[in-house]
Amino acid sequence: MKEKVDLVIVNAKVYTVDDSFSEAQAFAVQDGKFIAVGTTDEIRDVYTSDQLIDADGRAITPGLIDAHCHFYGLGLNQQLVNLVGTKSFDEVLERVKEFHAANPKSFLRGRGWDQNDWDVKEFPTKAELDTIFPDIPVALERVDGHAYLVNQKALDMAGIDWSTKVEGGEIVKKWENGYSGITGVLVDNPMQLIDSIMPSPSLNDKIKALKDAERISLNQGLTTV
């Protein structure tokens, strides 16, 4: 009689990562532990399970380990407007508006825009943000983390004006195409002035961030960070 176990996977390409880096086709799991690894025939001859999976030749590895990550930051980023992959500043604005409609915030934050992905490969200005969000501070972080686009409300709260000087980085200003003044783009060190006025995450925000980061990591095969 075959031994019943919690899980049997067969017809896989199993990378065991043992000392000889041997490969197998199948394995059996009981109580969360591998109890046998071998060929499909070897495992099927001995074990049975209500959860029998034919991997159809797919690769299976041990749980992956990330030796350097920003786990908590990954989780917190899930609470921001996702601007990665936007193809225009108009698309950025649409995503921000949609996010705020579904997730009203007292301080609206987003991350991931890159003007190099747009037809007009120039830093945007805050003009549209000022019109759409005159009373809510907005800070949209560039994909590399080295620049913010903020609206006038955020600038006012941070005390940033034409005379503000910060060593290292730039408070971008513009004098062309009918626009004169601070554009709302802050590069590197001036970003810290905006960071200083951002509300701290609540306990629920922190818990959600850690759970979100855990879910994403596990979905990618990461079991240790």
Phi and psi at residue 131, to the nearest 5° = -75, -45
Does residue 77 belong to any structural domain of this protein? yes
Does residue 216 belong to any structural domain of this protein? no
Looking up residue 58, the CATH number of its domain turns out to be 2.30.40.10
92-to-50, 118, 127 alpha-carbon distances in Å: 48, 10, 13
User: Which pLDDT score, from 0 to 100, does residue 78 have?
Assistant: 94
**Are 43 and 104 members of one domain?**
no
The residues facing 186 across adjacent strands are 148, 171
Q: For CA atoms 146, 216, 200, 99, give the dihedral sign.
A: positive
Does residue 223 belong to any structural domain of this protein? no
Structural domain boundaries enclosing 163: 71-203
**Are 106 and 149 members of one domain?**
yes
- Domains of the chain: total: 2
**3-class SS of residue 205:** helix
Residues 6 and 12: beta-carbon distance below 8 Å: no
**Are 186 and 116 members of one domain?**
yes
Q: What is the pLDDT along the chain (225 residues), one digit of tens a residue?
A: 999 999 999 999 999 999 999 999 999 999 999 999 999 999 999 999 999 999 999 999 999 999 999 999 999 999 999 999 999 999 999 999 999 999 898 999 999 999 999 999 999 999 999 999 999 999 999 999 999 999 999 999 999 998 899 999 999 998 766 556 899 999 999 999 999 999 999 999 999 999 999 999 999 999 999
**Are 131 and 169 members of one domain?**
yes
Distance of CA 7 to the CA centre of its chain: 32
Residues 194 and 139: beta-carbon distance below 8 Å: yes
Does residue 218 belong to any structural domain of this protein? no
**Are 101 and 180 members of one domain?**
yes
CA pair distance 198, 107, nearest whole angstrom: 7
**Are 181 and 135 members of one domain?**
yes
Classify burial at 135, counting beta carbons within 10 Å of its beta carbon; exposed 0-12, middle 13-18, buried 19 or more: exposed
Given 3-state DSSP classes, what are the helix, strand and coil percentages for the chain, each rounded to the nearest 5? 30, 30, 40
